[in-house]
Amino acid sequence: MFPAPQLNDMTELVAAAKKVASARHPVSFSGAGLSAESGIATFRDKNDNALWSKFNPAELASQDGFKANPELVIDWYNARRQTAAAAQPNAAHTTLGARKGWIHITQNVDTLLEAGGVSPENVLHLHGTLDEDHCNNQCGYSSKVNMLAPEGLKHCPRCDAYLRPSVVWFGEQLPENVFNQALHAVQQCDLLLVVGTSAQVMPAAGLIDIARENGAHIIVVNKENTPKTHSEDTVLIGSAATVLPQLFTS
């Protein structure tokens, strides 16, 4: 579906593969493009399926939107949960899952890296996950969600406020503990493999700059060029599920 690196990219691919193989502290940083070939919509692709071209993030992914219409928000997340529950890890997830010693920072709220074989303790979900709810009043209550058959809008059994998905909405802080671990990882890494992100959403995208400033080599895998890459980065154009297996075997 997407162009694999052409023959004239092979030198670059082989050089990148060597960097991957020799990295002592490798970290991946991923976005929605990692899961696109598993059938999960991205947010900003230039196609009609991209979530933010069909839906309004202010209505569906913000505290104000939730206050205005909580049922709408929960129904939208429940539809996304069912899509995620039906999705299978693709070759990009399983390629990463087969490698030990990596830390994976992801903006994705699915758990396909874990389904692809990555140990959950090695995945840092910067934007939370779909498989959990917590109290919108922050009383401390949280519960796992049945992703295949999620329930509609529910009240917190402790304090009666609404329950909401444990994902980060616009205007909200990232989970502090997870962000600090990610920060530590990019400060220590010698290689950052950036897969399938438009790198537009802060503070997550800022982690790429921090890795670069700390001396890591950046390898970007994306189906198109992204504006935030630097001339010293390696850029491999192609789909994640095509390029990642090549990167780890070349």
Residues that bind ligand OAD in the complex, under the rule CB under 6 A:
2, 31-33, 36-37, 42-45, 61, 107, 127, 168, 196-198, 200-201, 222-224, 226, 239-240
**β partners of residue 144:** 132
Residue appearing with tokens 């789909």 = 239
Give the nearer residue to ligand OAD in terms of CB position, either 102 or 159: 102
Residue 7 CA: distances (Å) to CA of 12, 14, 15, 113: 10, 11, 14, 29
**Choice among 127, 155, 184, 217 that is catalytic:** 127
Give the nearer residue to ligand OAD in terms of CB position, either 160 or 246: 246
Give the nearer residue to ligand OAD in terms of CB position, either 62 or 250: 62
Q: Is the dihedral of CA 88, 91, 92, 95 positive or negative?
A: positive
The least distance separating ligand OAD from the CB of residue 196, rounded to whole angstroms, comes to 4
Cα 48 from Cα 69, distance rounded (Å):
25
Of the candidates 2, 1, 39, the residue with the CA atom closest to the CA atom of residue 221: 2
Cα 195 from Cα 64, distance rounded (Å):
31
Of the candidates 78, 32, 30, the residue with the CA atom closest to the CA atom of residue 53: 32
Would residue 127 show up in a list of annotated catalytic residues for this protein? yes
Give the nearer residue to ligand OAD in terms of CB position, either 226 or 234: 226
The least distance separating ligand OAD from the CB of residue 160, rounded to whole angstroms, comes to 27
The least distance separating ligand OAD from the CB of residue 198, rounded to whole angstroms, comes to 3
The least distance separating ligand OAD from the CB of residue 88, rounded to whole angstroms, comes to 15
Question: In which element (H, E) is residue 96 found?
Answer: helix 91-97
Q: What is the largest CA-CA distance in the chain?
A: 61
Show which residues are catalytic.
127
